[in-house]
């Protein structure tokens, strides 16, 4: 039964048209029918989230924004230190997924967390935050560079940024830097994800490196549910907002056991 449901969802991903006059309507069209099964379906697909969450540093009394939070998966992955935060903002533009996040907040008695319906390319918290996270949301945000700029504006100097997302690199990635990818990988995955309005970009990593000091970087391959031989690449990036005078880092400089 579970396999049948997985195959049915997968077929809808690949064939069901995404409709809507704007980004919010298209997100609702894509996620509305699958919101209830979102977490289960993404468990083995959106890899790297738990590892990235385990590296977040939450100062007691601090603030955390999860940008493009979906159902709020990171809330539980983040561990007990997140309960000591003064505020957690779960921001997303998709009502059906935010409704699931609201249920998660109630079920987990997260008194310090609240959801916010907003476009992450425009929204900013009114106070500086200590941590911002993008978990598979940059590749779905048309103005992803504006979302990164907004995150930087919100972060206090020294604050953490954590990103996990699908990953394609340019034909000639910088050295040291991310692993090279074959022509097929670089051509296939953007085309495959495009069907669902997901756009992994070789520009994510260079832009993050130009805006933040990198602390850790890792790459991996996940599995498409129901098609485990299809293994999309993903990356994890952990960085900090620099103090004004510090210098840039290059991909791979601080890689933790990963090729650089």
Contact 97, 72 (CB under 8 A): no
35 binds ligand SAM (CB under 6 A): no
117 phi/psi in degrees, rounded to 5:
-85, 105
118 phi/psi in degrees, rounded to 5:
-165, 160
Nearer to ligand SAM, 89 or 217 (CB): 89
73 binds ligand SAM (CB under 6 A): yes
Q: Within positions 177 to 236, which residues make up the interface with ligand SAM, using CB under 6 A?
A: none
Smallest gap from Cβ 68 to ligand SAM, in A, equals 3
Smallest gap from Cβ 90 to ligand SAM, in A, equals 9
**Residue 195: both structure tokens together:** 């069907």
Smallest gap from Cβ 40 to ligand SAM, in A, equals 11
How many of the other CB atoms lie within 10 Å of CB of 252? 19
Smallest gap from Cβ 200 to ligand SAM, in A, equals 11
Among 136, 189, 235, 237, the residue binding ligand SAM under the rule CB under 6 A is 136
Nearer to ligand SAM, 27 or 155 (CB): 27
251 binds ligand SAM (CB under 6 A): no
Smallest gap from Cβ 249 to ligand SAM, in A, equals 25
131 binds ligand SAM (CB under 6 A): no
Smallest gap from Cβ 157 to ligand SAM, in A, equals 25
Residue 17 DSSP one-character state: P
27 binds ligand SAM (CB under 6 A): yes
- 69, 36, 47, 37: which is closest to 224 by C-alpha? 47
Give the strand pairing for 213-221 and 155-166: unpaired
Please report how the helices 204-211 and 144-154 are oriented relative to each other, as an axis angle in degrees rounded to 10: 20
Give the strand pairing for 87-92 and 113-117: parallel
69 binds ligand SAM (CB under 6 A): yes
Q: Which helix (H) or strand (E) holds 130?
A: strand 129-135
Smallest gap from Cβ 58 to ligand SAM, in A, equals 17
Q: Which residue has the tokens 């709020």?
A: 72
Nearer to ligand SAM, 82 or 177 (CB): 82
55 phi/psi in degrees, rounded to 5:
-95, 0
Look at the alpha carbons of 216, 219, 220, 221 in this order and tell me if their dihedral is positive or negative.
positive
Q: Within positions 100 to 129, which residues make up the interface with ligand SAM, using CB under 6 A?
A: 119-121
Residues, the chain:
260
Return residues touching ligand SAM (CB under 6 A). 23, 27, 42, 46, 49, 68-70, 73, 92-94, 97, 119-121, 135-137, 140-141
């Amino acid at each position: 039964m579970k396999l049948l449901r997985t195959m049915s969802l997968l077929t809808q991903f690949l064939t069901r048209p995404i409709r809507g006059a704007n980004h919010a309507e298209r997100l609702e069209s894509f996620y509305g029918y699958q919101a209830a099964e979102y977490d289960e379906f993404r468990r083995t697909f959106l890899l790297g989230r738990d590892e990235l969450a385990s590296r977040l540093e939450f100062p007691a009394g601090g603030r955390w924004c999860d940008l493009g939070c979906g159902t709020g998966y990171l809330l539980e992955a983040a561990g007990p230190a997140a309960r000591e935060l003064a505020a957690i903002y779960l921001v997303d533009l998709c009502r059906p997924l935010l409704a699931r996040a609201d249920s998660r907040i109630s079920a987990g008695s997260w008194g310090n967390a609240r959801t916010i319906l907003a476009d992450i390319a425009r929204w900013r918290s009114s106070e500086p935050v200590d941590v911002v996270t993008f978990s598979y949301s940059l590749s779905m945000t048309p103005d992803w560079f504006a979302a990164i700029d907004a995150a930087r504006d919100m972060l206090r100097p020294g604050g953490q940024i954590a990103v996990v997302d699908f990953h394609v690199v340019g034909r000639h990635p910088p050295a040291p830097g991310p692993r090279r990818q074959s022509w097929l990988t670089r051509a296939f995955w953007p085309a495959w994800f495009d069907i669902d309005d997901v756009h992994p970009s070789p520009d994510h990593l260079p832009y993050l490196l130009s805006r933040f000091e990198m602390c850790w970087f890792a790459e991996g391959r996940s599995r498409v549910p129901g098609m485990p031989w299809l293994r999309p690449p993903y990356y994890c990036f952990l960085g900090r907002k620099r103090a004004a005078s510090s210098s840039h880092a290059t991909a791979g400089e601080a890689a933790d056991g990963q090729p650089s």
